[in-house]
């Protein structure tokens, strides 16, 4: 085997070429990893809202709370089901909610479509991830609102003590809450009846029901679907939020992977250029290696290893740069719901591993042809060069 330091030193010997190539490979890996992290981030942000013990009830035929409505009677009947958990006061943890879209002004004259959730008595108790970080939750019968943490400062008045204006009414902000990074953090919560009447809704859009155990979810869903009195769709809350994310996440993945693929072609060619030059400038050395007894396949392996090194270095740099993106927050429209969501880049070990493999793979592919050329050199020609 040709020793590895032979490769590292010759790469170092042509630092400029090596550096340019590694940077090219690194940029491609960066895009690749960043896109996967972004898609993962969207899914994470939306699915973090889901609690495995909770069931969302929607009108049959709709996919989103915004397009749903249901009768109060249905909720009353279903909340007596044996699977439903109870609050400390003994009330069933079931809450009808009004969900509407509100256009709030944003700096620069644009509007931001925000989900407003009209909550009822058990809404907060049914969602253990929701935590107040300041102030309090809105009192029933008032126009008070609480903001998801990612709305803070996004629109005029979006701070505790401030007030929002929409639907020709004033809505004082009394609290800020987090929800484990989930989609609720992009929502504003108000009293369900007040919000409903401001938007001409006389009943809830959807309902959230907390069961005493995640294992009961299937039983409860079957109960809802089997009952001919309701035309309702029941879904675990986790499922519901995951589905809200699919279109946006898929779009980003499709676009990103496609682009990474195209970019990788460019980077592979770049690696190939560099490795051809490495081989060309070392023909005499390679001839010498062969002359002293190294096999063709050792030379082949040596060139491949060198080019793999380029790829690994690019992969590491690209993955590190992508990791740095976790400090960047992104806000965009979820075109499934027309509401804006806030999310970040979510690195996972799988994505980092994929990025490293991707970089290494590009390096190896780029080195393949130059390595074959190096291995095919005849000893005599090489020595004469």
Partner 1 sequence: MNYARLAWRDLRRNPLRLSLTVVAGAVGVMAFIFLRTVVDIFYSGAAVAQVDRLIVRNKVALTQPLPLSYFPRIAALPGVTAITHQSWFGGTISESQRDFFASLAIDPASFLKVYSEYTLPPEQLSAFQADPCGALIGRKLAQRYGWKEGDRVTMKSQIYPGEWTFNIRGIYDGTRPGVDTTALVFGYRCLNERLPENWKDQVGLYSVRVDDPARSAQVAAAIDGMFANSPYATLTESERAFQLGFVAMSSAILTAVKLVSNVILAIILLVIGNTIAMGVRERTRDIATLRAMGFRPFHVVMFVLVESAAIGVAAGVLGMFAAPPLLKGFMRVVESQFGPMAETVTRPQTLALAALAAVGMSLLAAVGPAVRSLRLPVAEGLRKVT
Binding region for partner 1 (CB under 8 A): 16-17, 20-21, 23-24, 27-28, 30-31, 38, 59-64, 66-67, 100-103, 110-113, 166-168, 199-200, 202, 231, 246-247, 250-252, 254-255, 258-259, 262-263, 265-267, 269-270, 272-274, 276-277, 330-333, 335, 338, 340
Residue closer to partner 1, measured from CB, 1 or 170:
170
Sorted by sequence, the CB contacts under 8 Å of residue 139 that are 6+ apart come out as: 174, 191
In whole angstroms, the minimum distance from the beta carbon of 25 to partner 1 comes to 9
Residue closer to partner 1, measured from CB, 211 or 322:
322
Q: Contact, 275 vs 367, CB < 8 A?
A: yes
Number of CB atoms found within 10 A of residue 136's CB: 12
> Any alpha helices (H) in the chain, and if so which ranges?
4-13, 15-47, 72-78, 192-198, 217-226, 237-281, 283-291, 296-324, 349-376, 379-384
In whole angstroms, the minimum distance from the beta carbon of 110 to partner 1 comes to 4
Q: Contact, 211 vs 53, CB < 8 A?
A: yes
Residue closer to partner 1, measured from CB, 12 or 338:
338
In whole angstroms, the minimum distance from the beta carbon of 266 to partner 1 comes to 4
In whole angstroms, the minimum distance from the beta carbon of 135 to partner 1 comes to 25
Q: For residue 185, give both structure tokens.
A: 């953090």
Residue closer to partner 1, measured from CB, 92 or 256:
256
Residue closer to partner 1, measured from CB, 92 or 148:
148
Residue closer to partner 1, measured from CB, 133 or 328:
328
DSSP string, 113-179: EEEEEEE-TTTTTT-TT-EEEEE-PPPTTS--EEEEGGGTTSSTT-STT-EEEETTEEEEEEEEEE-
Residue closer to partner 1, measured from CB, 6 or 276:
276
In whole angstroms, the minimum distance from the beta carbon of 107 to partner 1 comes to 11
Select from 181, 218, 199 the least CA-distant residue to 40. 181
Q: Name the β-bridge partners of 112.
A: 104
In whole angstroms, the minimum distance from the beta carbon of 376 to partner 1 comes to 15
Q: Which residue has the tokens 């969900």?
A: 99
In whole angstroms, the minimum distance from the beta carbon of 379 to partner 1 comes to 22
Q: What are phi and psi of 75, to 5 degrees?
A: -65, -40
In whole angstroms, the minimum distance from the beta carbon of 17 to partner 1 comes to 5
Q: Contact, 310 vs 19, CB < 8 A?
A: no
Q: How many CA atoms lie within 13 A of 262 on its CB side?
A: 5
């Amino acid at each position: 085997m040709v020793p590895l330091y032979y490769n590292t030193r010759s790469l170092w010997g042509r630092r400029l070429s090596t550096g340019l190539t590694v940077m090219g490979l690194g940029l491609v890996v960066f895009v690749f990893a960043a896109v996967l992290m972004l898609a993962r981030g969207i899914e994470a942000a939306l699915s973090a809202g889901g609690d495995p013990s909770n069931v969302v009830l929607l009108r049959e035929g709709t996919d989103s709370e915004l397009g749903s409505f249901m009768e109060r009677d249905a909720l009353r009947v279903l909340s007596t089901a044996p699977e439903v958990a109870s609050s400390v006061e003994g009330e069933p943890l079931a809450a009808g909610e009004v969900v509407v879209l509100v256009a709030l002004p944003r700096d620069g004259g644009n509007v931001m479509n925000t989900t407003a959730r009209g909550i009822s008595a058990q809404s907060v108790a049914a969602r253990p991830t929701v935590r107040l970080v300041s102030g309090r939750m809105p009192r029933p019968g008032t126009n008070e609102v609480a903001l998801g943490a990612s709305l803070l400062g996004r629109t005029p008045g979006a701070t505790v003590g401030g007030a929002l204006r929409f639907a020709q009414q004033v809505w004082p902000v009394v609290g800020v809450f987090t929800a484990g990074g989930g989609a609720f953090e992009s929502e504003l919560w108000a009293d369900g009846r007040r919000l409903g009447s401001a938007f001409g809704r006389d009943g809830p859009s959807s309902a959230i029901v907390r069961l005493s155990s995640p294992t009961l979810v299937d039983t409860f869903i079957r109960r809802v679907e089997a009952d001919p009195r309701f035309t309702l769709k029941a879904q675990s809350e986790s499922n519901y939020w995951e589905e809200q994310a699919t279109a946006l996440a898929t779009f980003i993945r499709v676009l990103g992977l496609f682009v990474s693929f195209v970019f990788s072609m460019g980077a592979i060619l770049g690696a190939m250029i560099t490795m051809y030059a490495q081989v060309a400038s070392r023909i005499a050395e390679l001839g010498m290696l062969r002359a002293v007894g190294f096999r063709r396949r050792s030379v082949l392996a040596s060139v491949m290893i060198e080019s793999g090194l380029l790829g690994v270095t690019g992969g590491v740099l690209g993955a590190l740069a992508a990791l740095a993106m976790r400090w960047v927050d992104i806000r965009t429209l979820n075109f499934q719901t027309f509401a804006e969501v806030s999310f970040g880049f979510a690195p996972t070990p799988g994505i980092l591993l994929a990025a490293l493999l991707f970089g290494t793979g590009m390096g190896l592919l780029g080195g393949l042809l130059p390595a074959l050329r190096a291995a095919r050199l005849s000893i005599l020609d090489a020595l004469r060069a």
